[in-house]
Chains A and B, each alone.
Chain A
Amino acid sequence: MAKSKMICWKCGNEMNHHADKLIYPSEGREAANFDASLGGLVEETHGCPGCGAVASRIAA
C-alpha cells in the first residue's frame, strides 16, 4: 500500500522517507502502534531534499 508523502514543515517540498527506526515505547504512551513481531514501534524518518529539514512519524 502506498503511503502518503510527508510535506516539509519548513519549505513545503515533498520529503523522502529514508529510514525506519525501531523504538521502544516508554510508559505505554504509544502502545497503540506497538508491533509485537518487531518488539517495538517503527518510527519513519523523512528528510527534505530542498532544505534538509527532518520529520518523523510512527508507522501505522
Chain B
Amino acid sequence: MTNSRPLNIPVILGTTRKGRMSAHAARFMAQRIQQRANVMTELIDITEVPMPVDDAGDGIKDPAFAEKMTMADALVIVTPEYNHSFPGLLKHVLDSCLKEYIHKAAGIVGVSAGPFGGVRAIQDFLPVIRELGLVNIFWDVNFGNVASVFDESGKLLDQAFIKRADKFLDELIWMAKTLRYGRDNITLDS
C-alpha cells in the first residue's frame, strides 16, 4: 500500500539558551522544507515542551510532543555544540519518547560559534539517534562561525547554505519516503 498523505518533517530547535543562534538555523531549515511539494513542517522549540527534571523517559512524556513525534516521518534536529557535545536538555526531551521514532529518518544540523559547525556534537549524537530507532542520513548541515552566516535578525548572509540545506533535504526526504513505505508495507510477521 502507498498513501498520499504529505510527508511530515518537523524541525526541532534543540537549545534553550538565551540568545541562541541555532534559532536562526532552525527557522532557515523550516523555510527550506516549506519549499518542497507535499511536505509539511513545523518548528518545535524544546523551550516550549514541558519537561520536569524529577523523572525521565516515559515518566515525563508530554502528550503534545509525543503526538508530533508520532505523526512525523522524519526529524531535522538542530543542535548547537556546547562543551564538545549536544545539549543535555535536548536529550532529556528526546528520551521521553521511543516507539514514536522507530524506523523514521533523522538529519542533524550542527551550529557553532567557532569554525567546526557542531561536528563534535553531531558525532556524539549518532549513537543516541541509533538507539532511539531513528535512521540517520549521511548529509549534515554545519553552521560554523554562525554569527557570520546570519545577521542578528536571522537574515541569511551566506547563500551557499541554500544548496547545502537542499542537498541535505533531498536525502532526508528520500529516506523518509523509503522508511514510510517500509513501516506501512514490510512486516516482521510471516
Stretch of B84-92, B95-103, B146-154 with 4 or more beta carbons under 8 angstroms from chain A:
B95-103
Known contacts: A16-B185, A17-B188, A45-B102. The answer to whether A54 contacts B70 by CB under 8 A is yes
Known contacts: A52-B71, A53-B70, A56-B99. The answer to whether A19 contacts B133 by CB under 8 A is yes
- Near A by CB (< 8 A), chain B positions 169-190 give 180, 182-189
Q: Does A31 contact B (CB under 8 A)?
A: no
**Chain B residue contacts of A23, Cβ below 8 A:** 98
Contact B188 A20 (CB under 8 A): yes
Return the chain A residue nearest B70 by Cβ.
Answer: A54
Contact B189 A43 (CB under 8 A): no
Return the chain B residue nearest A26 by Cβ.
Answer: B57
A24-60 near B? 1/0 per residue, CB < 8 Å: 0010000000000000000111010111111110000
**Chain B residue contacts of A44, Cβ below 8 A:** 188
Q: Give chain B nearest CB distance to A15 CB in angstroms.
A: 10
**Chain B residue contacts of A43, Cβ below 8 A:** 98-99
Q: Give chain B nearest CB distance to A21 CB in angstroms.
A: 6
**Chain B residue contacts of A49, Cβ below 8 A:** 1, 3, 183-185
Q: Does B163 contact A (CB under 8 A)?
A: no
Known contacts: A3-B189, A52-B73, A54-B70. The answer to whether A21 contacts B133 by CB under 8 A is yes
Q: Give chain A nearest CB distance to B178 CB in angstroms.
A: 13
**Chain A residue contacts of B182, Cβ below 8 A:** 18
Return the chain B residue nearest A22 by Cβ.
Answer: B131
Q: Give chain B nearest CB distance to A16 CB in angstroms.
A: 5
28 CB-based A-B contacts, threshold 8 Å: A2-B189, A16-B184, A16-B186, A16-B187, A17-B189, A18-B183, A18-B186, A18-B187, A18-B188, A19-B102, A19-B103, A19-B188, A21-B98, A23-B98, A26-B57, A43-B98, A43-B99, A49-B3, A49-B183, A49-B184, A49-B185, A52-B5, A52-B8, A52-B71, A53-B70, A53-B71, A54-B70, A56-B99
A47-B184, A52-B5, A52-B180 are known; give 20 further A-B pairs, CB within 8 A.
A3-B189, A16-B185, A16-B186, A16-B187, A18-B102, A18-B103, A18-B187, A18-B188, A20-B188, A21-B98, A21-B99, A43-B98, A45-B133, A47-B183, A49-B185, A50-B3, A52-B8, A52-B70, A55-B99, A56-B98
